[in-house]
Amino acid sequence: MAEVGGADAVTQGPPRHRAGRSDAGCNPRDPLCVSRGAAFVRAGLEALRGLRARGCVLLGEPEYYGRFGFAPRVGLTLPKVPMEYFLGLPFGEDVARGVVTYDPAFELFG
């Protein structure tokens, strides 16, 4: 969970899955791996819509997440992060604005 300007917000983490070996990650040049990652992102967004979330924010590559509708949003910031990598996706007309803060538990993974 996160907050945008003091209100509850939802964020999505990078898609990860393990293929074959326990230490295997996703190779961005592997089309199968990329399509699985995209399926994870889409499933996560559908789940958030089902929960009636107003939108989603994340820290990620604009090229990758842009295909899902994520983009930098004016007035939506995460301190110490370049604006072009902090992305938002509103699920309606209501676009969140403000400084985003993550739950302190995320600081453990720094």
- Find the CATH number of the domain harbouring 48: 3.40.630.30
User: pTM (2 decimals)?
Assistant: 0.72
Structural domain count, the chain: 1
Q: What is the pLDDT of residues 29-63, one digit of tens each?
A: 666 666 777 888 888 899 888 888 888 888 888 98
Q: Taking Cα atoms as reference points, which of 53, 76, 71, 70 lies closest to residue 4?
A: 76
Tell me how far CA of residue 59 lies from CA of 3, 12, 63, 82, in angstroms.
Answer: 14, 8, 12, 10
Q: What is the pLDDT of residues 96-107, one digit of tens each?
A: 788 887 777 766
Domain boundaries, position 37: 2-109
